[in-house]
Amino acid sequence: MRGDDFVPKRIPEPMKEFEVRPDPDDPRLSVTVPGIDHEGRAVETAVVTERPLTLFLNAREIVTMMTIGDRPDLLAVGYLLNQNMLKGDDEITAVEYEEDISTVVVRTRRQTNFEDKLKKKIQTSGCAQGTVFGDLMEEFDKVALSPSAKVKTSWLYQLTKKINTAPSLYLKAGAIHGCVLAREDKPLLYMEDVGRHNAVDKIAGYMFLNGIAPEDKIFYTTGRLTSEMVIKTVKMRIPVLVSRSGFTAWGVELAKKAGLTLIGRARGKRFVALAGLERIVFDADLGQAEEEDRKHARKGSHADAMD
């Protein structure tokens, strides 16, 4: 996408179920590798690809990320947004992906506030990556999440079932994270990546470029509910965060501070909620709710998508 061609496609809401979903048959995203098993027998194993991608904001080199490489444009924009390097009012004029040199450049009409800060910082005491964190926390304190948003337990059970059974690179090759943007019981955007933070950032990039409203959405992730995950979700203004994994103490503390509903260890009919409890509506008939079956439980593969 270059210069004048850069007109983000606007997706009318409500989006349809699985508007974006994994494509496990894309030959660029996994390869079959020969090896041996525990008895010394020859086996062939599907493994997901992982590529370096160096991100530039205008003329400035920001970071080299390891990614599956399916949506460098969304990843680039989402990363910059979630790191506070790009603000909602920055106007993107181009996102240029150069596959042969593994780079993606996000261009803005004016120099961003972040570039300006980076310049000042470099003139004083060096690399500014460390200052990003302080900026993020400052903004975090000002966010107000939708107080009227609700999450029904019946939605949660439908959502996790649909996500676990949808064709995915996870089911094909394992060792990959998944993040899903959902509304009520409908998964809308399902992104996978070798890095969980990449899957989140791709959803953030998609939401920004397509003007998707966050207030009525639910964010689902396979990864742990760490401070990073909570900060990103709050930054995206999504009021409910759900994971099949566990919590960290600071993740819980930050979620309470921001009024984010934090639901973890969501597997089958079980879950634990540690913040924003007032949004949860217990409407599901637990007798009807299913335990996860073994095939889709991701159980046999704990940590298979760990980072």
Q: Which stretch binds a copy of itself (CB under 8 A): 54-62, 142-150, 184-192, 201-209?
A: 54-62
Continuous segment of H or E residues that includes residue 264: strand 261-267
Residue 161 near a copy of itself by CB under 8 A? no
State the minimum distance, in angstroms, from the CB of residue 212 to a copy of itself: 25
Q: How many residues bind a copy of itself (CB under 8 A)?
A: 84
Identity (one letter) of the amino acid at 260? L
The answer to whether the CB of 168 falls within 8 A of the CB of 304 is: no
Binders of a copy of itself among residues 116 to 155 (CB under 8 A) are 118, 122, 125-130, 133, 153
Residue 280 near a copy of itself by CB under 8 A? yes
Binders of a copy of itself among residues 99 to 118 (CB under 8 A) are 118
Binders of a copy of itself among residues 229 to 268 (CB under 8 A) are 243-252, 265, 267
The answer to whether the CB of 83 falls within 8 A of the CB of 89 is: no
State the minimum distance, in angstroms, from the CB of residue 171 to a copy of itself: 12
Q: Which stretch binds a copy of itself (CB under 8 A): 88-96, 188-196, 210-218, 234-242?
A: 188-196
Residue 177 near a copy of itself by CB under 8 A? yes
The answer to whether the CB of 275 falls within 8 A of the CB of 281 is: no
State the minimum distance, in angstroms, from the CB of residue 12 to a copy of itself: 33
Taking CB under 8 A as the criterion, the residue among 1, 63, 94, 143 binding a copy of itself is 63
Residue 39 near a copy of itself by CB under 8 A? yes
The answer to whether the CB of 76 falls within 8 A of the CB of 55 is: yes
Residue 79 near a copy of itself by CB under 8 A? no
Residue 303 near a copy of itself by CB under 8 A? yes
Residue 298 near a copy of itself by CB under 8 A? yes
The answer to whether the CB of 258 falls within 8 A of the CB of 143 is: yes
Taking CB under 8 A as the criterion, the residue among 10, 13, 35, 295 binding a copy of itself is 35
Binders of a copy of itself among residues 15 to 34 (CB under 8 A) are 30-31, 33-34
State the minimum distance, in angstroms, from the CB of residue 204 to a copy of itself: 18
State the minimum distance, in angstroms, from the CB of residue 15 to a copy of itself: 26
Cis bond upstream, residue 14 (ω within 30): yes
Q: What is the DSSP string of 156-209?
A: HHHHHHHHHHS--HHHHH---EEEEEEETTEEEEEEEESSHHHHHHHHHHHHHH
Please say which residue, 35 or 147, places its beta carbon nearer to a copy of itself. 35
DSSP 244: S
Show the tokens assigned to 181.
């943007």
Please say which residue, 208 or 247, places its beta carbon nearer to a copy of itself. 247
Q: Which stretch binds a copy of itself (CB under 8 A): 10-18, 61-69, 71-79, 182-190?
A: 61-69
Q: What letters, b where the CB count within 10 A reaches 16 and e where it falls short, cover 187-203?
A: bbbbbbbbbbbbbbbbb
The answer to whether the CB of 264 falls within 8 A of the CB of 280 is: no
Place of tokens 């300006």: 116
d(CA 70, CA 159): 24
